[in-house]
Amino acid sequence: MDTAPASDRPGDQRQQEHPPYAEVQASAEFGELRRAHRSFAFPLTIAFVSWYLLYVLLSNYAGGFMDTKVAGNINVALVFGLGQFLTTFLIAWWYSRHAAAKLDPRSAAIKSSMGSDA
């Protein structure tokens, strides 16, 4: 049985060193950070999943179209498939630029404000 006062427990001391996370989550700065992330991530996710589903549906139901030769032995299906890889890398690159420009400074400001409140 733990007979030490609540203030002497290590976990309680840790809670006193950092501001409550619920307050940070409710702050306007955190809301702006969340909006900046969601306004970028959600539309791109929807666009990419739609693009992928278009590729899958065309592959399943429009075989004649996907088999159309573009140049030599390269057909529409191959172009679409390689386009999937290209868009994946482009989205990752674009997100890293967005995060560095918009998300990282805001999260660093929130982190520093949490450290200064202690």
| Residues 6+ away with beta carbon under 8 Å from 7 | 13
Instruction: For 30-68, write each residue's pLDDT tens digit.
Output: 899 999 999 999 999 999 999 999 999 999 999 999 999
Percentage of residues in the chain with pLDDT exceeding 70?
81
Own/partner contacts of 6-11, CB < 8 Å, gap of 24 or more, are none
Domain membership of residue 54 (yes or no) is yes
Q: With respect to residue 77, please indicate whether it lies within any of the assigned structural domains.
A: yes
Domain of residue 97 covers 27-117
pLDDT, position 96:
96
Residue 78 in domain: yes
Give me the number of domains the chain comprises.
1
Residue 41, in any domain of the structure: yes
37, 40, 46, 49 alpha-carbon torsion, rounded to 10°: -90
The pLDDT tens digits for 79-109 are: 999 999 999 999 999 999 999 999 999 999 8
Strands (E), the chain: 69-71, 74-75
In a domain, 60, yes or no: yes
Tell me whether residue 100 is in a domain: yes
